[in-house]
Amino acid sequence: MLAFILRRLVQSVIVMLTVALVAFALFRFVGDPIASMVGQETTLAERAEIRQALGLNDPFPVQFWTFLSRAVQGDFGISYRLQQPVMELILSRLPATLELALISGIMAFLFGVGFGVYTALRRGNWLSGSIMTVSLIGVSLPTFLIGVLLIWVFAVELQWLPSFGRGETVYIGDWWRTGLLTPSGRASLILPAITLGLYQMTLIMRLVRAEMLEVLRTDYIKFARARGLSNRAVHFGHALKNTLVPVITITGLQMGSIIAFSIITETVFQWPGVGALFINSVRFVDVPVMAAYLMLIALVFVVINLVVDLLYYAVDPRLRVDRASARS
């Protein structure tokens, strides 16, 4: 078990190093940073001076090492555009994105599993037929279109929900600004969360349905029925648990993409999260913010993957090999 975690940790570090290299390369390939820092009147000599002072003349490995050691300490430099430390900027925007991603992730998982199980067990009735049809729309419509449609129906026509922003927010602790504790904050969350989670939900639903149908055909389900277990025990105790093993992986990976792809939803709903920050940074070639964002998303994926592997381990006893080999 310990060896397994260590091995995964080493792999994670390698992934992070690779991403750091790519992020660092951004600085070198997205034009000359000096050019975007200084005005037109700066002389060549002054430019060379700044270059020397910033360490840009150092050999590549030295510069990369400086970047890495600062990044580990949470120092990604100063935003070109906003003249604020990048880390501060990201931390102030992160709660908005995490709240949105978490809520839509939970919604996607609960509804996805619920609908998936329902459509697998009640194959052929009209309700599961319509759920399957509607889910096709969820899979095929692009996210921004869903967002715009939702705004049109619920914000413009019905005027039930706000069309943009986070509503009222309050602070928890020093820097976590939450919208979950105020009515307007919660109302503002609904449309973006649906927009962001709909695709993931339909994906999870279709996966759960397919897995569930597969599991229901297995011998151990037949044997469970032959033992006279109730339908509930067979469906939810035996079938669902086996279904969830692959579903956990996909859901975990989807959680990563929910955070990463919140860019589109945040743009459509003007949600003040890191995705919107990233889009604006791209527009202004704000390389430090872009690099930090890249590292952040990579970190999210790496951590989620690690958690998924550990969950796998908890759900499926066959993976706990050390115990088995000790016994047999």
For other proteins, the binding residue among 238, 254, 262, 298 (CB under 8 A) is 238
> Nearer Cβ to other proteins, position 73 or 325?
325
Residue 119 lies near other proteins (rule: CB under 8 A):
no
Residue 314 lies near other proteins (rule: CB under 8 A):
no
Q: Is 22 helix (H, G, I), strand (E, B) or coil?
A: helix
- Min dist CB 128 to other proteins, Å, is 16
Tokens of 155: 């914000």
CB-based contact 80:284 (threshold 8 Å) = yes
Q: Which residues contact 225 (CB under 8 A, 6 or more apart)?
A: 234
For 129-144, the DSSP string reads HHHHHHHHHHHHS-HH
Instruction: Kindly indicate which of the ranges 28-36, 256-264, 265-273, 317-325 contains the residues binding other proteins, using the contact rule CB under 8 A.
Output: 317-325
For other proteins, the binding residue among 125, 222, 270, 322 (CB under 8 A) is 222
For other proteins, the binding residue among 41, 157, 174, 219 (CB under 8 A) is 219
Residue 235 lies near other proteins (rule: CB under 8 A):
no
Tokens of 276: 């919107």
CB-based contact 57:51 (threshold 8 Å) = yes
Residues facing residue 145 across a β-bridge: none
- Min dist CB 238 to other proteins, Å, is 5
Residue 233 lies near other proteins (rule: CB under 8 A):
yes
> Nearer Cβ to other proteins, position 40 or 325?
325
For other proteins, the binding residue among 108, 150, 224, 287 (CB under 8 A) is 224
Counting beta carbons within 10 angstroms of the beta carbon of residue 311, is it exposed (0 to 12), middle (13 to 18) or buried (19 or more)? middle
Q: Which residues contact 276 (CB under 8 A, 6 or more apart)?
A: 93, 263, 266, 267, 270
> Nearer Cβ to other proteins, position 87 or 234?
234
Residue type at position 96: A
Integer Cα distance of 171 and 175 in angstroms: 7
In order of 142, 167, 251, 281, the CA distances from 102 in angstroms are: 21, 18, 12, 24
Task: Please give the angle made by the CA atoms of 28, 31 and 78, to the nearest 5 degrees.
Answer: 75
Q: Is 123 helix (H, G, I), strand (E, B) or coil?
A: coil
Counting beta carbons within 10 angstroms of the beta carbon of residue 297, is it exposed (0 to 12), middle (13 to 18) or buried (19 or more)? buried
For other proteins, the binding residue among 242, 251, 265, 281 (CB under 8 A) is 242
Residue 232 lies near other proteins (rule: CB under 8 A):
no
For other proteins, the binding residue among 106, 218, 307, 322 (CB under 8 A) is 218
Instruction: Kindly indicate which of the ranges 52-60, 240-248, 255-263, 271-279 contains the residues binding other proteins, using the contact rule CB under 8 A.
Output: 240-248
- Min dist CB 242 to other proteins, Å, is 6
Contact letters for other proteins, residues 176-215 (x by CB under 8 A): ----------------------------------------
> Nearer Cβ to other proteins, position 283 or 318?
318
Q: Is 170 helix (H, G, I), strand (E, B) or coil?
A: strand
> Nearer Cβ to other proteins, position 40 or 231?
231
Instruction: Kindly indicate which of the ranges 73-81, 103-111, 222-230, 273-281 contains the residues binding other proteins, using the contact rule CB under 8 A.
Output: 222-230
Q: How many helices (H) and strands (E) does the chain have?
A: 15, 2
For other proteins, the binding residue among 59, 61, 183, 317 (CB under 8 A) is 317
- Residues lying near other proteins in the complex (CB under 8 A) are found at 218-220, 222-231, 233, 237-238, 241-242, 245, 315-318, 324, 327-328
